[in-house]
Amino acid sequence: MREFYDGIAFRTNVVAKKASLGLQHALERFEVTPEQWSVLNVVDQKAPISQRHVADFAEKDAPTVNRIIDVLVRKNLMTKMVDEKDRRITLLSLSIEGKQKVQLIRNVVEETCAHFYQGISDVELATYLDILARIENNLE
């Protein structure tokens, strides 16, 4: 049974690496990494949002998110402003350039994912997602 479980873990790792690399290649023309995309995507959907909440939604640690945000601000894709209600909190939003780039990236990400999941039905993908969620729950 151990070989069976090892095989599942190995295949899962290989597929995750290939998917990440495929996404990385798709994003290269935008000069954005998959990690930066995950932060841009969260900010696009939730803005204005605090850095702490970005880390929670992106499922990344705070120092990593802070470094990514600094890069995105330098690239003029994101803006920071102090929360008027609580001056200790910095709120993030996309810049105009960021909004434009996010829409272009989203289209490419959707095309890339459609290629990844080609030949797999929505029902199969829902089952796969359910299984992944249960495995993740077991890991916590």
Length of the chain: 140
Q: 91-123: per-residue pLDDT in tens? A: 999 999 999 999 999 999 999 999 999 999 999
Q: 23-80: per-residue pLDDT in tens? A: 999 999 999 999 999 999 999 999 999 999 999 999 999 999 999 999 999 999 999 9
- Please give the residue that has the higher pLDDT: either 133 or 88: 133
Domains, the chain, with CATH or none? 1-139 (1.10.10.10)
What is the predicted pLDDT for the residue at 3? 85
Cα–Cα distance between 49 and 35 in angstroms, integer?
Answer: 17
Q: Which two tokens stand for residue 116?
A: 């990844």
Give the predicted TM-score (pTM) of the model: 0.86
Q: 56-65: per-residue pLDDT in tens? A: 999 999 999 9
Cα–Cα distance between 74 and 60 in angstroms, integer?
Answer: 20
